[in-house]
Structure formats: C-alpha cells, structure tokens
Amino acid sequence: MNIDHNFETLDPQDWEQSKALMHKMVDDAFDYTQHIRDRKIWQEIPDNVLNTFKTNLPKDPSNAEEVYKELQDNVLPYPMGNVHPRFWAWYMGGGTISGVMGDFWASILNPNLGGGNHAAHKVEEQVINWIKEIVEFPKSASGLLVSGGSMANYSGLAVARNVKAGYDIRSEGLKENNLVFYASTEVHSCNTKAVELLGLGTKGLKKIKVNENYSINIDALKQQIKEDKANGLQPICIIGTSGTVNTGAIDDLQSIANICKQENLWFHVDGAIGAIAMLSDKIKPQLKGIQQADSVALDLHKWLHMPFEAGCVLIKDDVAHKDTFSLIPEYLAKNTRGLASGENWFSEFGLQLSRRFRALKVWMSLKEHGSERFGRMISRNVEQAYYLGELVNNNKDLELIAPIGMDIVCFRYNPGGKTLDELNAINKEIKLQIEERAIALPGYTTLNGMYCIRCAISSHRVTNEDFDALIKSVLSIGEEIIVS
C-alpha cells in the first residue's frame, strides 16, 4: 500500500531524526542513572523555571529536540530524589534499568490489559502467579496488578464488604449503616479513604491501640469486636499491617487470622510495604500468617523497585473477587475465538477497564534478576537499618524513638537539657537543612508527640557509608543550630 508521506499523523515526520533523538535520550538517561550520586538529590525550583510551567496550552508544534531541551533544563534538575541512594523519605523504590526497559516496551506495544486474547494478557497472568508463589497463596487465587497500595487495599476491602455484608450489597446498596472494619491506629490512611469511599464512613474503620512495638494490640481488638457485636454493629473484616509506614511494625498476622476464623471475618493484609519481604529470610518469619489471609495488598514499586506504578492485590476467593467487579455489557461481550476471547479478563477483577501493560517491567525484572537477588536486596536494607540503629545507639546525643521495624529507623538528636518543643523544633530544622544542603533526604514523622527523623531504607544503591555521612550531618547541623 502506498502511503502519502505528506499524510499528517502523530508519527515522526522524519523517523531517522526522531530515532537519533531517542538514542541521545538513552545515552543521557543511562548517564543520569549511573551517576545519580553526583546529582543533587533535591533543590528548590527557582522562579524563572517555575514560570515556564505557567504558560498556556501550546497550539502550534515545536521541534521534539526543543521540547527535550526544556525537559533537561526545567525538569531534570529538580527531582523528587528517590532514585538517589540517600533517599529515605516516605517509602519508595529506586527504580531499575530493567524496569525502564519493560516500561519502554509497554509504551511501544501499548496493549490494553483490560482483557482479550493476546500475549500481554498471558504475561500479566504469569506475573500474578509468581506473586502468589512469593506470598504462598494457592494457584486458585485471583489477582490484579493495580496502580499501587492504595488501590490494592481498596480492592481487597471492596470484596470484603460485598462478601461479608450478608446481603446482595452490590445490587441493593448499603442497607444498614453498621458494617465495621478493624485495624490498628498505625494503619495506613489509604484504608480509611477506602472505607469512606465504600460508603461506610470514617467510622466504618475502627482503630485499635498498639503495643509498645507499634503492632496491633490483640486483646484490645478482641474486646472491641465483642463490644461492637453487643451494640448491634456488624464486624466484617480485620486489616493486618505488614509493616506500618511510621515504624515498620508488623502486626501479629497469625493471631489476626485466628480471630477472623473464629468470628467469620474477612482477613485482609495491607502488605504494601512488607509483603514482598516474603523474599527475605530476615523478614519472612515475621510474616507468618499472611498465607491465611483472604486478601493481600502489595506494592512492587516499593521494595521491588519497579518504576511507578505497580501494585498488586491477591484474593483467595476468585469467585468473590469477580463477583465484586465483573460487569459485561454488550460492547464488551466476549467471543469464543479471536482477540475478544478468553475466560477471565482483568477488567472483571478491578475498577479499571483500560489498563497499562504494567506487568511487563515486573516480568522482565524478575527474569533478569531472579527473585533471590531481590530477597538479598531487602535483607541488606534490614541489616542497614540495624547498622544505622547502632550508630544512633552509640552516640550519646542521639536516641531511637521507636524499635526498628523491618527497614525503618526513627531517631532524633537530643543533646540533653532541651524541652520537647525545643527538641521538635531542632530536629525539624536538622531534617530540613540536610535536605536543603542536598546531603540526603531523610523522612520524618511524629511519635507520641516527638518529632523524629525517620529513615525508610529501601534503596538498592545505598551503602553503610551513606549512614555514616547522615549521622555526621545530623550531629554537626544539630550543634550549629544550638549554638546559633
């Protein structure tokens, strides 16, 4: 077929020129990643750059090369910082080149993982099977790759609501306003958001006090369920966390499993941070009981270092899963042959219809690195957390504020003789100056009123020397602040 080369499309007008630009991008991107340590982990965006983000919708074309120059000048120098080894804020993965390669091909091939009979669908099925293996779920369980932990938890809780309400809540809607989920006070906020959106209201998630190690207090949980039942409420689900975002605490999943069995409740595990640590000998024993969950939420863009986004939900009862989300109108009716065939389409197991081929980066990465290497990376982070903990414990001006959970260390500078308010102000300033001087990007949180520097050590690039540098900076900046 003859194609008119003046026929306007969104394809490159000059393929060779466009390809040359992409090759240049590859060189630059590899240089960027390989030498990430030499780049500033974070810096303030100056006003003249900020102003470039305020221009109106571009109506006319520009050269792709010029657009790329804008990216280099105005975006690249002002990163979030999480690719850098010294990023310990919030909880994120660092990305990988193999993940980038997978994402690149996902964008080129650009299939829609809503469903259908094509290879990408099989790749996602395989990836989900692998994740079941990791979490020791049966092959009969169902699963879905989702945007991240928030959506994974949302999906698990939605199925829990529909299964345990005791009536056809999907078609009839919430009849009584008395369904209750349970979790510890340390549960991630996305679970609260999920329960609110599911129509139960904030009050539909009861938060149970924690033990000194920040794991859920099992006795208080039992007591609350008993009281609620006596008061006419209907407990439907317990959310166990592994581990918590503040301190990396892991709930006693085995005890929660037992309660759920006894009380006929759905057992959901928010394992956004820690479920993938089933790959690590160091953490796996602490996750005992996860195998008995009805649903597990995982994040693969955290401790598996996939480029955003990659979350996963697994549901043991595949029928309940499908019954919550499947909806097939005439324009999605399936065929027995061809592209539109196949029994289980991913769109029948979640909120999304169109879905990116996010499985490909996971598939390529797990094949290239092998699961055991990921396990070793996780174990090393745990060791590094204890290394940092020792540095803190060995210095009289520093103190741990919580037990080290998994890879999370919460500590503060405390040279003595300061009030709580003063200590909070000093530590807040230390954290900000470490960031503004581009030394590192520690996180922070507040535990029992104490502001602390919180390091979530999830980088696969970080070394012990980075923590030496952190401690040195905390102490010197702390002293500067006190003197000034």
Residues 262-301 contacting a copy of itself, CB under 8 A: 299, 301
DSSP assignment, residue 55? P
Closest C-alpha among 365, 375, 337, 296 to residue 123 = 365
In the bound state with a copy of itself, the residue whose beta carbon lies nearer, of 129 and 223, is: 129
Give the shortest CB-66-to-a copy of itself separation in angstroms: 8
Residues 373-432 that bind a copy of itself (CB under 8 A): 373-374, 376-377, 380, 428, 432
Sequence-ordered list of residues with C-beta below 8 angstroms from that of 483, at least 6 positions apart, any chain: none
User: Is residue 307 within 8 Å of residue 99, measured between CB atoms?
Assistant: yes
**Interface with a copy of itself includes 10 (CB under 8 A)?**
yes
**Interface with a copy of itself includes 448 (CB under 8 A)?**
no
**Total chain residues near a copy of itself (CB under 8 A):** 181
DSSP assignment, residue 476? H
Of positions 164, 268, 412, 460, contacts a copy of itself by CB under 8 A: 460
In the bound state with a copy of itself, the residue whose beta carbon lies nearer, of 235 and 255, is: 235
Q: In terms of residues, how long is the chain? A: 484
Residues 172-211 that bind a copy of itself (CB under 8 A): 172-175, 177, 188-190, 192-194, 196-204
Residues 88-147 that bind a copy of itself (CB under 8 A): 89-90, 92-101, 103-114, 116-120, 122-123, 125-126, 129-130, 133-134, 147
What are the tokens at 192? 């609260």
Helices 464-483 and 420-436: angle between axes, nearest 10 degrees: 120
Give the shortest CB-181-to-a copy of itself separation in angstroms: 12
Residues 354-373 that bind a copy of itself (CB under 8 A): 354-357, 360-361, 364-373
User: Is residue 242 within 8 Å of residue 273, measured between CB atoms?
Assistant: yes
Residues 315-344 that bind a copy of itself (CB under 8 A): 325, 327-333, 335, 337-340
H or E stretch including 182?
strand 179-184
Residues 46-65 that bind a copy of itself (CB under 8 A): 49-50, 53-64
Give the interface segment with a copy of itself, choosing from 44-52, 209-217, 387-395, 475-483 (CB under 8 A): 44-52
In the bound state with a copy of itself, the residue whose beta carbon lies nearer, of 172 and 212, is: 172
Give the shortest CB-145-to-a copy of itself separation in angstroms: 11
Give the shortest CB-411-to-a copy of itself separation in angstroms: 15
Give the shortest CB-387-to-a copy of itself separation in angstroms: 14
Closest C-alpha among 224, 220, 219, 246 to residue 235 = 224
> How far, in Å, CA of 391 to CA of 336, rounded?
63
Give the shortest CB-209-to-a copy of itself separation in angstroms: 16
Residue at 422: amino acid letter: E
What are the tokens at 278? 């089933």
